[in-house]
Structure 1
Amino acid sequence: MNNQVLNTLTLLLLLTKSVLSFSQELKPSNLFGDNMVLQQGVAVPVWGLSSPNDSITVTFSNQNKSTLADSNGKWMLKLEPLQANKTAGEMIIKSKSSEIKIKNILVGEVWICSGQSNMQMNVDNVPDVKAITPLSENIRSFDVKRTVSFEEEDEVTGKWQLGNSSSAVASAFSYYLEQLGDIPVGIIHASWGSSSIEAWMPRDMENDFMYFKNIMYDFDKDMMTRNTIKKSLNAPNGWSQKEDVFMRRQPNIIYNAMMHPLIPFACRGLVWYQGERNTRYISGVPTVNETNWFHRVIGMQEYSDVLQQWILNYRKKWQNDTMHFAIVMLPGYGKGTVKKPDIDPENPTEESFAWMRASQLKALNLPNTSVVNTIDLGDVDNIHPKDKLPIGERLALLVAKNTLNKPIIAEGPMLKSVEVSENKLIIHFKNSNGLKTTDGETPKGFWIADSTKKWKMADAKIEGETVILSHNDVNTPLYVRYAFAGKPNVNLVNEENLPAYPFKTR
């Protein structure tokens, strides 16, 4: 065989391999599967892989949409807005040579539920939530596998299932939302204990925050950390608990593996129950060493700016300016920061969770946001309280009001204004119809101060829809803090027994 013939055969072999390498079976994203829920009222992207330039057709709910795969075999099309439907439907996806049927599909409200350990807490550990899960109808859930990646992934690991998510908060939320909306609910649950907001931040947020850019710069050049993570991911028998903790406390790489692949799945919004990891310092990014390396995250006071920019970033990625974000306020807890872990849990001057709650409430500066008030919940000694049922119920109330336009009361009293009257402060509230206390006693949790900023626990009384504050040692009160403490003792609610939101004026 001469060289010319040999070269020709070699070239043909290479071309054949090239063609074969681009030959892909028709496959939608893993987010599309039996038992799923599709979002009502918006255009619904459907996407996946096939052979390059293949013709793809998707049929669902009397719609027939077609597109062509690109040169890499990627394809995407959008269904027109769908109406809510409790009657299961079937989606047919066709290429030139293949057909896939996805069965038992409902149309309703789809929510992503994300965060750290209090979102992850399993429904089996919360008896009152577990008790209601068998009562749920038309609820479907997709639990995203916990993993990390150095690059933004296109695919996620998980499977739609009938019934509630493994998350207690997500389960309670979906149960009450289904009841309030009389509509199917789909939950995509993506959470991981002890993860910071930085773990869920996309790489392009380096452009917004220099501290994050510095963190990622150091992470990129830390080959020991990167090799440790690679070794864990490739371990034939899975990673250990120690390795698990190590991975989930790194920046960005959870977003890459667990959130980015969800884009642009049509959903109403995202429930965010996270913040505990960012409470170890009141401000700034700490200097770290081998023993506290996992504390290199933003502090409580700056968290508000990061959270708001994070919300805007996600909306941009989903190409949905009205994507709703429901933030779960951190509940009561009696420990402080690294600087001073042992605190008076009712004192408004301590470095406590109060500062994180104030940052979380600033998310309300953005439209299409809600903050679930949990100030009456929690455990002074346990950062993982089990009172998740009321969180789910309050989430559903806010979401039903703000996204389904239900005419309901969904929030407790919120500060409207402070009036100075001689030696008293008069506190005016929004959402204050039927202002009362849960135990029939005078309101608790109010502190006042004059120009000296020496805080005193106020004598408080309800007058109509206001609270009057005074103290014998404060002749000219100027400032007030309400429930601004790690684990305050509170009892102020409105007619729907929803608790008053914490606040401070100084």
Structure 2
Amino acid sequence: MNVLLPRLLRTGLEINDGFRSAKAASLCPFAERKTTITGRTILTTFFLAVFACLYAMASPVSAQQLPRENVIDVPAMGHGLCVSNVFQSGMVLQREKPIRIWGWAAPSEQVTVEFAGQQLSTIAEADRRWTVTLTALPANDVPQQMSIRGADASLQLDNILIGDVWLLGGQSNMEFELAKVENGNLEIVSANYPQMRILTVPYGQGPELQSGFARLHEWSDWFGRHFRKGEWNACTPEIARELSAIGYVFARRIHMASKVPIGVIDVSRGGTTVETWTPLPVLRAMDSEPTRARLAKFD
């Protein structure tokens, strides 16, 4: 089917059986553009539109429902008994290493943690912080539960696996999403790995060491929408779309080779400098004028 588009539509493109060849756009405002559109082109456009609508409806929270700012679901530190947000249902804990669990409670409150046949108790410090260290455990792909009890409250974390946990750090090359790489969609459609879990940490603010991170819908001015961050998720096609492409391919290959659960914690952030990844006390101890000048911006 050949269609001569109205003069108002000046695409400068000729479409033939799904392939586009760019043509130089005419400088004449009244020049006509001839575009050849086939049935294949119409079907492709239709299915892409349907897919976009379904993806938008599948999103747990649309951009229209939230203000254009970060919306916190679970704060970094709650009132009363709470655990660091790095510990959640659906997480992966490191195998064959002591497992340190920490959180906050009322000063002097006793906190008891039970997991995998172990039970440990501790007392919260004056700053509310408490910590217990469980003995090392072998890899285990059978989901387990962890209970955390205080004086008048308790927490339960479910679906916990034990395997290898990897940290992803770096700039935009690490942060770049799987959906945006060449042939990324071919990876996404088969990205069903229930024993591969991913946690994308929200962006930190300021140079000081932070005690934790919130679970939130993080607003991006660059993309004009929210991103769900701070949650452990099993790898599915829907989740894989927004994962680090490098992180996903790495985790998948390690998982398939080792045959143990894999956890990936993504803390990458585009445009960050090496100083961003260096502890502040280390930077202050450096005898370097460029470093001192950079630190002066924060002081």
Q: Which amino acid in the other structure matches residue 176 of structure 1?
A: R
**8 Å CA contact 2:207, 2:280 repeated in 1:** no
Partner of 1:154: 211
Q: Secondary structure, in 3 states, of the residue corresponding to 1:218?
A: helix
Q: Post-superposition shift, 1:24?
A: 4.0
Q: Which amino acid in the other structure matches residue 68 of structure 1?
A: I
The change in CA–CA distance for 1:188 and 1:154 in structure 2 (over 3 A counts) is same
Query: 1:4-403 to 2 correspondence within 5 Å?
Result: 24-133=79-188, 134-157=191-214, 158-163=230-235, 164=240, 166-206=243-283, 209-211=286-288, 214-222=289-297
Q: Post-superposition shift, 1:188?
A: 0.2
Q: Secondary structure, in 3 states, of the residue corresponding to 1:183?
A: coil
Q: Which amino acid in the other structure matches residue 94 of structure 1?
A: R
CA distance in 2: counterparts of 1:178 and 1:195, whole angstroms: 29
CA distance in 1: counterparts of 2:282 and 2:198, whole angstroms: 29
The change in CA–CA distance for 1:177 and 1:207 in structure 2 (over 3 A counts) is same
Q: Which amino acid in the other structure matches residue 253 of structure 2?
A: Y
CA distance in 1: counterparts of 2:185 and 2:82, whole angstroms: 35
CA distance in 2: counterparts of 1:54 and 1:193, whole angstroms: 41
Q: Which amino acid in the other structure matches residue 178 of structure 2?
A: V
Radius of gyration: which is bigger?
1
**8 Å CA contact 2:193, 2:234 repeated in 1:** no
RMSD: 2.0
Query: 1:355-504 to 2 correspondence within 5 Å?
Result: none
CA distance in 2: counterparts of 1:120 and 1:44, whole angstroms: 28
Q: Which amino acid in the other structure matches residue 268 of structure 2?
A: S
CA distance in 2: counterparts of 1:153 and 1:216, whole angstroms: 21
Q: Post-superposition shift, 1:193?
A: 1.1
Residue identity over aligned pairs, in percent, reads 26
Q: Post-superposition shift, 1:32?
A: 0.6
Q: Post-superposition shift, 1:142?
A: 0.5
Q: Secondary structure, in 3 states, of the residue corresponding to 1:137?
A: strand
Q: Post-superposition shift, 1:47?
A: 0.1
Q: Secondary structure, in 3 states, of the residue corresponding to 2:282?
A: helix
Q: Which has the higher helix share?
A: 1
**8 Å CA contact 1:24, 1:73 repeated in 2:** no
Q: Which has the higher strand share?
A: 2
Partner of 1:14: none
Q: Post-superposition shift, 1:60?
A: 0.8
Q: Which amino acid in the other structure matches residue 155 of structure 1?
A: G
CA distance in 2: counterparts of 1:27 and 1:76, whole angstroms: 12
CA distance in 2: counterparts of 1:124 and 1:107, whole angstroms: 28
**8 Å CA contact 1:129, 1:172 repeated in 2:** no
CA distance in 2: counterparts of 1:189 and 1:24, whole angstroms: 27
Superposed CA offset, 1:117-172 (max 9, x none): 11000011124454334242301011011232232110123111111571000000
The higher-RCO structure (CA 8 Å, 6+ apart) is: 2
CA distance in 1: counterparts of 2:174 and 2:265, whole angstroms: 12
Q: Secondary structure, in 3 states, of the residue corresponding to 1:115?
A: coil
Partner of 2:65: none
**8 Å CA contact 2:111, 2:121 repeated in 1:** yes
CA distance in 2: counterparts of 1:147 and 1:55, whole angstroms: 31
**8 Å CA contact 2:93, 2:163 repeated in 1:** yes
